[in-house]
Structure 1
Amino acid sequence: MAETDIAIDIISPASTLSEFLEFDKSDFKPRPRLALRTLGIIALDVTVAAGAALGTFCLFHPVAEAASSSVIVTIAWLTLCMSFSFFERGLYAAPEIMSPRLNWRKMALSWLQAVAVGALLTFCFAAVADGVTAAPHGMARTLPGPWLPTLLLAGFVAISLARLACLRVDGGPASLNRTVIIGEPGSMHDLLLRIRSGRRRGFDVVGIFEHEKEPQDTAVATVAPLSARRSFLGLPLFSGLDALERMIRKDAVDTVLVALPWSAGEQARAIVQRVSMAPVNVYVYPGMNAFDIPPRRAASVFELPLLMACARPIDGWGAVIKRAEDIVLAIGLLVFIAPVMLAIAALIKLTSKGPIFFRQRRLGYNNRVIEVLKFRSMFAHLADADAHQQASRGDKRVTRVGAWLRKASLDELPQLLNVLKGDMSLVGPRPHALATTAGGLALQDAVPIYPSRHRVKPGITGWAQVNGYRGALDSVEKIVHRVNHDLYYIENWSLALDLKILWLTIKLIFADDNAF
């Protein structure tokens, strides 16, 4: 099956992938951390604006006055207005953050608006609060004179130079939305021209994939196969869905656009069903009314008529929030339970021979193989790294201390280090070892959509676990229930849901009959 091939491809050496695709890696840059870069730009603008305001103030006033509350509040007003003005005019929008050049006109108007509104609000605040305290009156006295005109010029120059320096340090803009198009030449040509002629930068097309067709009669075919050319409208050209899937698994693609004629509805359905199991956005170019895909959205996307068939889960600011949640809670938990972990490590070392930690290879985000840490709960010479034989109730391979650790799920505590490393999350679908089976079947064979759960990072605990679906996978029904719960979590993720799962996990630590 196709899903089984995915796991094999991921475990294969990287050289095999590069030889198969034959593309220049420089064309496929790492996925940019857009949210973090946006926060960095906002922090840079605020720091430079406040510094410029303070510096220009000191040019015309004694330095000691700069520490007065009236000056500090005035500069805070101006800086806050700058942030709102830049945001309102779109300078913190994704296309502007990733743009290869600065929008001088927009920046100048935004800065002029920020200074004007900031000055007006300062006067209004001083007028309303006059007589209540001396600070507002002092605020109004700081604005007249040469300071404000000087700030208007010096602040704009400072912010512009800082933005230019940031672009230079970053080595230029990264692709905002690394996009590939798969389909047939006519539809792809039309879609690519629409993208290039559009006013908004929504898709950075980095490659074209030919959809594999059934052999045609040579007497009818008048155009050479697309795969015979090395490029398509100046973009690298690849052949087949397998190549696309492998590139996605290398995290080189953010969005897939499916462009096929209406008569190829079944082929389009197959492409969408296969690609949607990976962490990418999938859009369908219109005109394919012969298949029934329930779109999440049927509207103009970046001024293009597209149907959204699948969305990348927990993306953008949601990913930043979840990562912050993982780091803060993982560090807090490690500090809090450090004595417990040291005691467990000592017990393991004193009661059985072998290492303290057990390392096991499992499938993680985007079907990548990760090494998961656990406290060793089995005799070292009987441990099964790939889980060819799943643990069962009363398993003789488990030590006495290990049985207690597994019952209370304390053997999972070292995975907090996996969370800090970035391989795992506190909450998410539980990762399975490479050789895990369900009812004697490979997990991908038991549940064809099993790889869909790898669209997010695996977790120490998850929605399936707190709903009673943990323990040995001795039947296909159990893995079906787990996958269904995992997909529910992925589609309905929120910070509140994560906190709820963590709370339910704490309650289950000493009262879970499925743990052994």
Structure 2
Amino acid sequence: MAKLGIDDLLRHDAGLAAAPRPGPRRPMSAVAESIASHPRRSAMSATILSGLVGLTEFILLVGGGLLLRSAYLRTGLAPDAPYAALVIGSALGLVVALQYLHAYDLASLRGAVSRVMSVLAAWSGVCLVGLALAFAFKLGDQISRFWFGAWYLYGLLALLLSRLGVRLVVKRMLRDGLLDRRTAIVGGGPAAESLLRTLDAQADSEVRVLGVFDDRDEQRSPESVAGYPKLGSTDDLVDFVRRAKLDLVIFTLPITAEDRILSMLRKLWVLPVDIRLSAHQSKLRLRPRSYSYIGSVPVLAVTDRPIADWDVVFKWLFDRIVGGLLLLALAPVMLLTALAVKLDSPGPVFFRQRRYGFNNELIEVFKFRSMYVEQSDATASRLVTKGDPRVTRVGRFIRKTSLDELPQLINVVLKGDLSLVGPRPHAVNASAENQRYDAIIDGYFARHRVKPGITGWAQIKGWRGETDTFEKIQKRVEHDLYYIENWSVFFDLYILLATPFALAKTENAY
């Protein structure tokens, strides 16, 4: 579903939207502090669960069909063309049909036994269509009728047992909070109360509301709404979303309250969270396709968390597989570099620096040490410049060639707090023109909506190296945001392949 185009509105006039800048942390209420401090259990995306169920059913049908054919006809597992076409085509047809019928939605997977019967009916329909096509293409005499009947019955039993098993697993996961979407409601009053009661009425919902945020005073905004505590105002929400690792924020404000909504979104768009506008009580009636649904509650999508669901899986696999291969291939170069660093000046081989990672969390990044130990600057309070006396002889070479960055493959492959490709992580006190980056670039922290990377779109487009001016850091941030909004595995691959050519340009690397 298309978003409302809020990103463009937020960047209107300023190039990037204003966002809260770090300062003294606002004290949260005792209830909000307790929730935010409670460790979150790892949860699975409902989209990934649905995909795994579909893949499992496809494998069950194809595998069963091939095994039955091999056992009945006493041939190998490799089928001839008519059998392969019928087995794969029917299994794929069922998955597509069930997707169209929303049979992979969480509500269906956890639903009543009647939902399982509809899956079996869909399998019967697909088999009839497959049989009709086989006869239409005059393949009937090449396919065993006994085998086909056995495969059809096997499919009924396999799908029945699969769906009943999935139903039990999903209910257990929901009960244990393994599918939770941690949610906050923005806005109070009758609209919020109605929304919360509707969400509560949905049995086994994956939406877990933690509380309500409302800017109105105590007289107009009670301490709880429909049994859920008021956790603070929208000024408290940004910090709460980060610390409590929320998945979803739902606005209950009317669409007509445009100024209030935009004011709040300017604070929230830098966060890695889905933002929805409830249409539960809206009198505005849009086309059905304009809405998405949280259970039975219609909502309008405002912003989506970038790189979510299956994209997270693909990026994780890309980082681990490609990163692991690079780590093995570059191990000899890393050993030689480590030896050169050790022989050039006394001190450790590695330099560890705290930098901002995903969701503004602090991570420890590995680099080969390029400065004299006694002059190292762990907080990057002073940028390295051309001819900087703090840099060793070997340090100048490895910084120009970016060999000092190679240990970050350890962060990617072993620690998992970096990606191969993403916005470059900056040190906590990194500054340009004597001002911290976040103080001079509105929306700076939006680049932390995804995991940072060893290389990125900004680096291959020429914005690598020293960031001593406002323009340089602004261009970096603009390229980082472009990468986030346009991410794909192929985009990552392109950036990775282009990186060696970008490294050949060393004029900005000191």
**TM-score after normalising by structure 2:** 0.80
Listed as ranges, the gaps of 5+ residues in structure 2 are 1-17, 283-287
Listed as ranges, the gaps of 5+ residues in structure 1 are 131-135, 216-220, 290-296
Larger displacement relative to structure 2 (20-29 or 357-366): 20-29
Question: In structure 2, the residue corresponding to 1:372 is in which secondary structure?
Answer: strand
Preserved CA contact (<8 Å) 2:279 2:299: yes
Give the structure 2 partner of residue 186 of structure 1.
Answer: 190
Match of 1:301 among 292, 308, 316: 292
Distance 1:385 1:17 in 2: 34
In structure 2, do the counterparts of structure 1 residues 432 and 94 end up closer, same or farther at CA, with 3 Å as the change threshold? farther
Preserved CA contact (<8 Å) 2:192 2:225: no
Give the structure 1 partner of residue 427 of structure 2.
Answer: 433
* Residues 1:111 and 2:115 aligned together: no
In structure 2, do the counterparts of structure 1 residues 386 and 159 end up closer, same or farther at CA, with 3 Å as the change threshold? same
Distance 1:471 1:241 in 2: 37
Q: Deviations over 1:124-163 (max 9, x none)?
A: 4477365xxxxx7453244366x25642553244323442
Distance 2:301 2:118 in 1: 36
Distance 2:39 2:354 in 1: 31
In structure 2, do the counterparts of structure 1 residues 478 and 77 end up closer, same or farther at CA, with 3 Å as the change threshold? closer
Give the structure 2 partner of residue 5 of structure 1.
Answer: 22
Give the structure 1 partner of residue 474 of structure 2.
Answer: 480
Correspondence list, 1:273-352, <5 A: 273-285=266-278, 299-302=290-293, 306-352=299-345
Preserved CA contact (<8 Å) 1:179 1:255: yes
Residue 437 of structure 1: how far off its partner (Å): 1.5
Question: In structure 1, the residue corresponding to 2:420 is in which secondary structure?
Answer: strand
Query: RMSD across aligned C-alpha pairs, in angstroms?
Result: 3.9
Give the structure 1 partner of residue 387 of structure 2.
Answer: 394
Distance 1:116 1:265 in 2: 49
Match of 1:259 among 248, 252, 257: 252
Correspondence list, 1:210-225, <5 A: 210-213=213-216, 225=221
**TM-score after normalising by structure 1:** 0.79
Residue 444 of structure 1: how far off its partner (Å): 1.9
In structure 2, do the counterparts of structure 1 residues 402 and 214 end up closer, same or farther at CA, with 3 Å as the change threshold? same
Give the structure 2 partner of residue 361 of structure 1.
Answer: 354
In structure 2, do the counterparts of structure 1 residues 278 and 62 end up closer, same or farther at CA, with 3 Å as the change threshold? closer
Q: Partner letter of residue 362 of structure 2? A: V
In structure 2, do the counterparts of structure 1 residues 123 and 309 end up closer, same or farther at CA, with 3 Å as the change threshold? closer
Match of 2:410 among 417, 422, 428: 417
Q: Deviations over 1:238-295 (max 9, x none)?
A: 12234422331135322212233679654433221101111112234579x9xxxxxx
Give the structure 2 partner of residue 380 of structure 1.
Answer: 373
Correspondence list, 1:52-91, <5 A: 64=74, 67=77, 69=79, 73=84, 76=88, 78-91=90-103
Q: Deviations over 1:87-125 (max 9, x none)?
A: 33223235545xxx2443233232333255236525744
Residue 341 of structure 1: how far off its partner (Å): 1.6
Distance 2:400 2:112 in 1: 60
Distance 2:164 2:67 in 1: 16
**Bigger RCO of structures 1 and 2 (CA < 8 A, at least 6 apart):** 2
Distance 1:208 1:46 in 2: 40
Distance 2:451 2:124 in 1: 44
In structure 2, do the counterparts of structure 1 residues 328 and 96 end up closer, same or farther at CA, with 3 Å as the change threshold? farther
Preserved CA contact (<8 Å) 2:66 2:79: no
Give the structure 2 partner of residue 226 of structure 1.
Answer: 222
Distance 2:439 2:501 in 1: 34
Preserved CA contact (<8 Å) 1:299 1:305: no
Preserved CA contact (<8 Å) 1:377 1:403: yes
Question: In structure 1, the residue corresponding to 2:271 is in which secondary structure?
Answer: coil
Preserved CA contact (<8 Å) 2:214 2:230: no
Question: In structure 2, the residue corresponding to 1:433 is in which secondary structure?
Answer: coil
Preserved CA contact (<8 Å) 2:35 2:244: no
Preserved CA contact (<8 Å) 1:428 1:461: yes
Q: Deviations over 1:30-65 (max 9, x none)?
A: 45344443343234333444566578789xx66946
Give the structure 1 partner of residue 137 of structure 2.
Answer: 128
Q: Partner letter of residue 366 of structure 2? A: L
In structure 2, do the counterparts of structure 1 residues 126 and 406 end up closer, same or farther at CA, with 3 Å as the change threshold? farther
Distance 2:60 2:169 in 1: 12
Give the structure 1 partner of residue 3 of structure 2.
Answer: none
Larger displacement relative to structure 2 (335-344 or 72-81): 72-81
Preserved CA contact (<8 Å) 1:48 1:158: no
Distance 2:289 2:164 in 1: 42
Question: In structure 2, the residue corresponding to 1:226 is in which secondary structure?
Answer: coil
In structure 2, do the counterparts of structure 1 residues 375 and 103 end up closer, same or farther at CA, with 3 Å as the change threshold? farther
Q: Deviations over 1:319-365 (max 9, x none)?
A: 33333332232122223222212221222222222222211110011
Larger displacement relative to structure 2 (378-387 or 255-264): 255-264
In structure 2, do the counterparts of structure 1 residues 33 and 368 end up closer, same or farther at CA, with 3 Å as the change threshold? same
Q: Deviations over 1:361-394 (max 9, x none)?
A: 1001111111111111112222111112221111
In structure 2, do the counterparts of structure 1 residues 65 and 299 end up closer, same or farther at CA, with 3 Å as the change threshold? closer
Q: Partner letter of residue 34 of structure 2? A: E
In structure 2, do the counterparts of structure 1 residues 17 and 364 end up closer, same or farther at CA, with 3 Å as the change threshold? farther
